[in-house]
Chain A
Amino acid sequence: MRDVRGDVVRRQLAADHGLSVATVRSICGYLIHGETPSSAVAPRVDDLFADPIIEHGLTNTMLLTTQSFATSPDAVITVGFKPGVTDNPGKAATDGFLTLFPNDPDARISTYLTYVFYGLPQDCDVHWLADTLHNNLIERALVADRSECHAKSWPELDFPTPPEQVFIEPQAVDLEVDDARLEAISNDGLLALNLNEMHAIQAHYRDEAVRAQRTSMGISPNAPTDVELECLAQTWSEHCKHKIFASKIHHVDHETGEDSVIDSLFKTHIMTPTHDMQEDVDWLLSVFHDNSGVIAWDDTWSVCMKAETHNSPSALDPYGGAMTGIVGVNRDILGTGLGARPIANTDVFCFGPPDWEGQLPENLFHPSRVLRGVHAGVRVGGNESGIPTVNGAIVFDDRYIGKPLVYCGTVGIMPRTLPDGRPSHVKTPVAGDVVYMVGGRVGYDGIHGATFSSLELTEESPSSAVQIGDPITQKKMIDMVLEARDSNLITCITDNGAGGLSSSIGEMAEYTNGCEIDLAKVPLKQAGLSPWEILVSESQERMTIAVKPEDQEAFEALADLHEVEATAVATFTSTGMFHVRYDEATVAYLPIEFLHDGVPQLQLESEWRPPVLPLFVPPQNADHAALLTSMLKRPNIASKETWVRQYDHEVIAQTAIKPFVGVERDGPGDAGVIAPIHGDPHGLVISCGIAPRYSDIDAGAMAAASIDEAVRNAVCVGLDVDKMAGLDNFCWPDPIESSKTPDGRFKLAQLVRANRELERVCRAYRLPCVSGKDSMKNDYGSGPNKISIPPTLLFSLFGDHPDVRQSATSDFKFDGDRIYLVGTSNQELGASELAFMLTESGVAEGVGGDVPQLPHPERNLGVYRALATCVRAGWVRTAHDCSEGGVAVALAEMCIGGRIGAVVDIDGTGTGDVWGRLWGESLGRFIVAVSPEHESAFLEAMKGHPTTVLGQVRTGMKLVITDADDALITADVETLVDAWKGTLDLTGGVA
């Protein structure tokens, strides 16, 4: 039998490091900590730990000492988890052990993997090898080198027992100190509170009424307890409160002479436009205030969507960080309204170049390792949860080495009304309802995630901020929660994410204006956690759910059935207070109003001067065919198939347009389309747009391009443009001017411009933003070595598709189909993929110039409506968005998908010169193909919209592009396939 686990390691070492190893073998190890004697375990090995058909299993004997490993290996590396780190296989093994040995209920199992190397090159450092196989933040590795193997001195891991936690009684923190000390308290405690905020807290405890009330509760009258200070730090964190988006900004524009004040970017440019649009339509059910935005999809069902980022944890532990990201956003859906069912995921990643050969800053992983880890985390999180990944993107830029961006989105569905008649999108808690913590337990992991993500990444970033998700615990919880919802048992539900119980119960307590929590009731992973740690720990897989007292029994019975832990930890009140006890002692007593509205508004400075970049000037002469092959190999354009194919994109049997289209099912899908009600072709479109490099010229143009791309992608498959909603996810470098960020004013001006364009385009497209998120500290280090990401907006879209049977895909289909360009190609090559490529190769001086603009979005909407109508009428079966790499790359991808050729003339397609028309990235463009029988109907429908004939689809596997009489490109489609599919296949094949 083949040792596939070993083979994977062997191939990966070859692919990533060019290291050739003859054979790698693997051993799965289980350390059992329990009462059952090993003599009882031994006869059951094949029942649980080893597969009798394909594996050897032994107890209390190392397999390395057996005949199977008679030849002395060149190296042995054993990798296990550090104490306290989530060990999912160990958890499953423990569960399985209990099935066999029900009388040993406290048994625990920890797992490890041993890799055995043969034919290792002599000069290979085994400790370096171990480093490539484990992450020392969360794992431990033991190594036996050649001589130790020869001496049969095998590495042996002990059972990982977490260190004793010391329970510390809540203590008062004296804030009657000078400002320097106040700042030190914040910095030393990782509280991420600025001086102004520390003053606001200090002032609260000087209030005589507050002091009197606190005296009566028996809690330190004139100083916060550590529990309170931590709770305020979490609730007031940038992560939870979005202080930059809520700030008052003094904005100066040196281009226009504008000097103005913006009172909250969020309220001005995101919330107000959506609320205005809410006046005009009846399908915007819930916007902004819940865990995701909800729209009515039909009379029976509503749908919701949310996207989140998990950047800092993914930088430290790509696998765990990303998995926590995807399962976390799934919980946002579960926590929407009275509980929605997650039915589709989207994943968008931004990484450094996978072939990066330059220096890496301290503590950062190579981009290829980040890619592998993030991908694996999202893959496991999504696949094991049974949620298809229907849409996404992977973007590369050098600056994401400093901080990768990991966007995870989830779409949910829920019946519009529950059996008892309550609308499912409205939470209905009342004082007296009992609050349960459901799912996982609270541990030391995940303390300070929210505040940590509000600080820049440094070499000392804490390991406790990293967690590993447990999709199966969560899946059980999701099954249970949805059953509870359908039994009318839930009055309020929310996710435990950033800030833990302090945020989840704290936010829900706003509904009833009060709560009383007993931290002593919270089940813990390990004893000894102090009250503040219990309150703010972000341990995963937990929901907070409120239940009427009379429903407690039924709720708990359901939890038992699903083997999900549910513990009553709090009660809603109407006292106006966030009241936290540990047993009888009050450990926090904060007014709800102060907790949620007490944070002082930031006052920030913004200053715009357009950046000056060397202009992109295309070369005089060029071999466009060679450029096309080079462009298709660019990581930003190349096929992501080997990565995306590892996501389940069609579980739930609803995915009508998949990430892969075309005859060989490897062409690019523009948007995902699902038909979630079985037997009914009514569909939902899910798409995204992202264009971070345009920020190099203008972050406003970047935002407009992202939104336009998301809409275009959705139009390609047949979206109803009159029913679409968007999500704005901003990832920015720190835009607050400081000694660490001397260019803060410029970065804030970029944010202002992006928000203004967001409002302008969304209003024109009648595209309400229903939910969003921002992540504002995406920098690494400081001083000259500081790396800041390019300002990045991910715009996700979900919208209606009346009938998925009338959709289009990007692959060219049949010989003789007529090819059209919809839209106009202008001379817009600034920050284009071509400009980056030619600048990197030294052919051009820079990427500056005209970045794609969206001058008349309302006209674009008319084009989009007309084209989408043609798709839904069945006249257009082939449509592809034209973006990175322009017309040339779009045509190539359409030929690749169809494994068919095309003859195209780009003459008359716009105002640009041949470079602009072939490679430019002007917005608002599509390439479509129409069968001759539908051509006249198509042209009639597109009347008045820019629609230019390009040519025809042709059998013969040749893509021929001319510009009137000038031959530009003649390319063999199979060559294009090879170029496009080669770059990012880092799997090392199957041999």
Chain B
Amino acid sequence: MVPRVAVLFGFGINCDHETKAVFELVGAKAERVHVNRFVSGEADLSSYDILAVPGGFSFGDHLGSGRLLGNRMRFAMRQALMAFVDAGKPIIGICNGFQVLVKTGLLPGPQAGASPDFVQRGSLTLNDSGRYEDRWVTLEFDPESPCIWTKGMERMECPVRHGEGKYVMPSSEDLDRLAKQHQLTVRYVDPSIPVGKAITDEPLPYPLSPNGSMRNIAGVCDATGLVFGLMPHPEAIYARWLHPDHTRRPGTVSDGMDDWEGEGLQMFRNAVEYVNQRT
């Protein structure tokens, strides 16, 4: 079976083309589906195996990033989303998509075993710098995270491109709870520290942490590990020629991707393989 991926678009989502492309590069069949096709019932979310909410500026980030698109989903797609999550199907939100999933309450979501309750538990707010920035960061993944999207991934370089990427929660207990369940899946790290040892709760200085996120959080998953969101853009390093250093590290040049596959592609392959193994 070829997994079907719904890549949401409309209202200012703008990473829909590349998000569709990366799923196709790892063997899925991906479609860009306008939010309103789901809302109107013209498209059926349950006929898809994976849902991706890409990056962008839905509704211009006005009233807080992800808020208005989150509301459209929370109020107009509630049942479909709940059924999708309950059916154990993977969802990813990248950048604005992560903001949307946090504002809808799908991330970090309720305790293990509970259905989505659409209660907002955290938020993504203005970077401490007050500026939107496009810059490359180094990420490390929690190897014990239940997240199905990040299996086998250790460290990755990719860009952040946001003005509101600072992940916050009301109390440190909230963060402790997520940490304990390894839901703090991916963090900003200092690249000078050896791989596997760089994750820290101590706030890293700007620009290692580009936004001042609590505990350097770059992305979180829900208790099941199926719903995952992150501010950085893994799809932006689907090929090594998109890495700022590629003129320093030339590879062989022949047809196709060959040794030019980028580190980000693994994340999408993980989800596609997860779906394939389930069925």
Contact = CB atoms under 8 A, between A and B. Distances in A.
Contacts of A475: 11-12, 14, 57
B274 interface: no
Given A472-B59, A475-B12, A805-B251, A651 B21 contact: no
A27 to B, nearest CB: 14
Given A681-B260, A805-B253, A561 B68 contact: no
B273 interface: no
B208 to A, nearest CB: 12
B241 A805 contact: yes
Given A48-B67, A476-B10, A53 B244 contact: no
A267 B12 CA distance: 41
B247 A809 contact: yes
Contacts, number: 203
A655 interface: yes
Contact of A384 (B22, B60, B170): B60
A100 interface: yes
B161 A648 contact: yes
- Which of B14, B37, B75, B135 gathers most chain A CB within 10 Å? B14
B60 A678 contact: no
B127 interface: yes
Nearest to B42: A561
B248 interface: yes
A564 to B, nearest CB: 10
Nearest to A7: B130
Contacts of B245: 663
Interface in B203-252: 206, 212, 233, 235-236, 238-239, 241-242, 244-248, 250-251
Contacts of B161: 383, 648, 650-651
Nearest to B258: A805
B242 A874 contact: no
B123 to A, nearest CB: 4
Nearest to B122: A53
Contacts of A96: 59, 63, 67-68, 71
Contacts of A53: 120-123, 168-170
Interface in A472-493: 472, 475-476, 479
Interface in A155-170: none
Contacts of A91: 62
Contacts of B56: 386
A665 B136 contact: yes
Contacts of A972: none
A472 B129 contact: no
Nearest to A341: B17
Contacts of B57: 383-384, 386, 471-472, 475
Given A678-B18, A805-B253, A877-B248, A92 B63 contact: yes
A654 B237 CA distance: 9
A650 B162 CA distance: 12
B15 A651 contact: yes
Contacts of B247: 657, 661, 807-809, 813, 877-878
Contacts of B61: 384
Interface string A649-670: 1111111111011110100000
B131 A681 contact: no
B132 to A, nearest CB: 5
Interface in A798-837: 803-809, 813
A653 B11 contact: no
Contact of A646 (B76, B125, B133): B133
A20 interface: no
Interface in B94-127: 103, 120-123, 125-127
* Residue among B56, B123, B130 having the largest count of chain A Cβ atoms under 10 Å: B130
Interface residues of B, number: 73
Nearest to B253: A805
Contact of A655 (B64, B135, B242, B257): B242
Contact of A386 (B14, B133, B253): B14
A749 to B, nearest CB: 44
Contact of B128 (A2, A48, A99): A2
A31 to B, nearest CB: 14
A675 interface: yes
B270 interface: no
B176 interface: no
A89 interface: yes
Contacts of A649: 134
Given A51-B125, A807-B247, A645 B133 contact: yes
A89 B63 contact: yes
A681 B241 contact: yes
A100 B67 CA distance: 12
B250 A1 contact: no
Contacts of B15: 386, 651-653
B260 A11 contact: no
Contacts of A877: 247-248, 250
Contact of A561 (B25, B34, B128, B159): B34
Interface string A776-818: 0000000000000000000000000001111111000100000
Contacts of A660: 244
A49 B60 contact: no
A563 interface: yes
Contacts of B17: 652, 678
Nearest to A813: B248
A774 interface: no
Interface string B4-40: 0000011111110110011011000000001011001
Nearest to A474: B12
A93 B62 CA distance: 7
A944 interface: no
Contacts of A874: 250, 253
A257 interface: no
Contacts of A650: 134, 159, 161, 233, 236, 242
A681 B60 CA distance: 32
A991 to B, nearest CB: 9
27 contacts: A5-B130, A48-B71, A51-B123, A88-B60, A96-B67, A100-B71, A386-B15, A386-B56, A471-B57, A471-B60, A562-B34, A645-B135, A648-B134, A650-B134, A653-B22, A653-B238, A660-B244, A661-B247, A678-B18, A679-B25, A681-B260, A805-B251, A806-B250, A807-B246, A809-B247, A878-B247, A990-B128
Give the 10 A-B CB pairs with smallest separation, nearest first: A386-B14, A678-B21, A92-B62, A653-B18, A8-B130, A4-B126, A53-B123, A89-B62, A384-B57, A990-B129
Given A2-B128, A92-B63, A379-B132, 17 more contacts: A54-B123, A54-B168, A92-B59, A99-B75, A100-B71, A384-B57, A385-B14, A386-B12, A561-B34, A561-B37, A562-B10, A562-B34, A651-B18, A653-B238, A665-B244, A678-B24, A805-B250
